[in-house]
Amino acid sequence: MNTVPMDVAPLSEAEVRRIREDFPILNTEVNGHPLVYLDSGATSQRPRAVLDAEREFATTLNSAVHRGAHTLAAEATEAFEDARSTIARFIGADDDEIVWTSNATEAINLVAYALSNASLGRGGAAAERLRLGPGDEIVTTEMEHHANLIPWQELAARTGATLRVIPLDDNGALRLDEPVIGPRTTLVAVTHVSNVLGVINPIEQLIALAHEVGALVLLDACQSAPHMPLDVHALDVDFAVLSGHKMLGPTGIGALYGRRELLEAMPPFLTGGSMITTVTTTTAEYLPPPQRFEAGTQRVSQAIALAAAIDYLTAVGMPRIAAHEALLGQRLLDGLTSIDGVRVLGANIDLPRVGLASFDVPGIHSHDVGQLLDDRGIAVRVGHHCAQPLHRRLGVTASTRASTYLYSTEAEVDAFVEGVSATIDFFGVRS
């Protein structure tokens, strides 16, 4: 779950070449150079199987799910629910523990607003353990993506609870020796893999600390579910979120995993059609989860395409993808740290990592680094990566991030490292 077994063989060069043939966009040229796509941490590319799945639904099954009684609607509903089963199997959950959302950000907000509604007395006695108020504490970390920070800031403001933050050490690692999680903690929200540092956090330890004091745990799995085996039941998390566009799927689709008894206790966030049983002009009764949290017309073709993406990843093998990316991540780290004038964020953290690295070059703004790399056809991410507190803690305002995936090659990593070195030469800032 947090590490790759040592006996797992990474993908061979020949296998990666065959995988790349499934991704039409990888044949693109940018500025006269073959595209080197190293921005999968932001949005991954899609194989033909995923593109075809969404197109086939639109041309053969397109209709509303859970509504019409006609054949097309019934077949669309079956495909939609089969997609739910696919993602449940992929992360070790049960079908009725998966809620479709537009993305991970919406999934986190769903939990935050459900807790807020419970705190207002909604949900009855079943929701009692979900209520927050003055004296309660929500814990997150200094390395979180803004999507796993701001919703908790707002929840604290609405309920009177206190938001506490697990700090980072000078290298960027979580300071788990700090007594932040305590008897007043009701929820711990933490990222599995840092979207800036690429390190795999010691989630088992955090979950144990939270559960020792009776706190719930929400896991941001956006940077882990696409890249390594994930089993939410085995990890014993209470909630987990992911986004389809980071795992070969389309945009506009994500998922919330919630432990069944918690989803059953949670009052809804969005309300309207499709999530109700009986409605009068003054009252409404709600469906059980997951439909309770799926108001309105659903993202049907996107869910089916995400299931196709999961089938693709499963066929390749998540342990082998993780092993492949671990090698690429080490190659990124070794290459960048060998360049005079480059500071790799989190380079000295002694934890496993995925194929992602962010760096700063004092004297060159990350946007300028990204522009010169783009001139070579190399696509990377620049800026604060929606993690301003982490950057601030490490003394930088922005960084350049390269992130790999199953279709990335060692030659692409080497081209990127060479491009960074050439950029430093261009600006003449070697120390």
Q: Do the beta carbons of residue 159 and residue 133 sit within 8 Å? A: yes
Do both 90 and 195 map to the same domain? Answer: yes
Helix (H) or strand (E) segment spanning residue 199:
none
Tell whether 350 is covered by a domain.
Answer: yes
Determine the Cα–Cα distance for residues 313 and 307; give it in Å rounded to an integer: 10
Q: How confident is the model at residue 126 (pLDDT cuts 50, 70, 90)?
A: confident
Residue 106: inside a domain: yes
pLDDT, mean over the chain = 96
Looking at the structure, do residues 117 and 228 belong to the same domain, yes or no? Answer: yes
**What's the pLDDT score for residue 6?**
60
267 and 144 within one domain: yes
What average pLDDT does range 357-372 have in this prediction?
96
Query: What's the Cα-to-Cα distance from 258 to each of 5, 243, 282, 293, 307, rounded to whole Å?
Result: 28, 15, 29, 11, 19
Residues 204, 71: one domain? yes
Residue 294 and residue 163 share a domain? yes
137-141 and 185-191 strand pairing: parallel
Of 288, 314, 340, the domain-final residue: 314
- Count, in order, helices (H) and strands (E) of the chain: 13, 17
Shared domain for 332 and 265, answered yes or no, is no
Give the model's pLDDT for residue 2.
Answer: 39
Please indicate, yes or no, if residue 299 is contained in any of the structural domains: yes
| pLDDT at res. 124 | 84
Read off the pLDDT of residues 298-351 as tens digits, 9 standing for 90 and up: 999 999 999 999 999 999 999 999 999 999 999 999 999 999 999 999 999 999
Domain assignment present for residue 2? The answer is no
Domain count, the chain: 2
Q: Percent of the chain scored above 70 by pLDDT? A: 98
Domain that holds residue 160: 52-314
Same domain (yes/no): 389, 406? yes
pLDDT at 431: 65
Q: Which of 30, 35, 287, 386 is catalytic?
A: 386
8 within some domain: no
* pLDDT digits 0-9 by tens, 174-222: 999 989 999 999 999 999 999 999 999 999 999 999 999 999 999 999 9
pLDDT band at 173 (very low <50, low <70, confident <90, very high): very high
Judged by DSSP in three states, 268 sits in coil
Neighbours of 404 (CB within 10 A): 29
Last residue of some domain: 279, 314, 349? 314
Q: Tell me the chain's radius of gyration from C-alpha atoms.
A: 22
DSSP string of 139-167, one letter each residue: EEETT--GGGTHHHHHHHHHH--EEEEE-
pLDDT score of 74 more than 80: yes
Q: Are residues 243 and 390 in the same domain?
A: no
What does the pLDDT read at residue 123? Answer: 87
Answer whether 61's CB lies under 8 Å from 79's CB.
yes
Summarised one tens digit per residue, pLDDT across range 387-406 is 999 999 999 999 999 999 99
For residue 3, pLDDT over 60 is answered with no
Give every CB contact of residue 74 below 8 A, 6+ residues apart in sequence. 68
- Assess whether pLDDT exceeds 60 at residue 4: no
Which positions ≥6 away from 209 have C-beta within 8 Å? 176, 181, 188
pLDDT at position 297 over 70:
yes
What is the C-alpha separation between 422 and 134, in angstroms, rounded?
A: 55
Instruction: Band the pLDDT of 272: cuts 50, 70, 90.
Output: very high
Residues 260, 204 share a domain? yes
Q: What number is the average pLDDT over the span 153-181?
A: 97
- Strands 33-34, 29-30: parallel, antiparallel or unpaired by DSSP? antiparallel
Q: Which segment of 118-132, 250-264, 278-292 scores lowest on mean pLDDT? A: 118-132
Decide if 222 is catalytic. Answer: no
Q: Looking up tokens 């070195």, which residue turns up?
A: 421
351 with 251, same domain? no
356 and 253 in a single domain? The answer is no
Can you give the CATH number for the domain in which 276 is found?
A: 3.40.640.10
CA distances (Å), origin 360, targets 131, 141, 332, 341: 42, 22, 14, 9
Which CATH number belongs to the domain containing residue 399 in this structure?
3.90.1150.10
| Residue 4 domain flag | no
Q: What is the C-alpha to C-alpha distance for residues 108 and 239, in angstroms, rounded to an integer? A: 9
Q: Is residue 213 part of a domain?
A: yes
Residue 6 lies in a domain: no
Domain boundary among 263, 281, 314: 314
Bridge partners of 99, per DSSP, are 256
Q: Are residues 36 and 59 in the same domain?
A: no
Residue 262 near residue 109 (C-beta atoms within 8 A): no
Question: Residue 99 CB: number of other CB atoms within 10 A?
Answer: 26
Q: Which residue's entry shows tokens 């999961």?
A: 310
User: Is the whole model's pTM more than 0.85, yes or no?
Assistant: yes
> Can you tell me the mean pLDDT for 358-384?
97
- Per residue in 18-40, pLDDT (tens digit) is 999 999 999 999 999 999 999 99
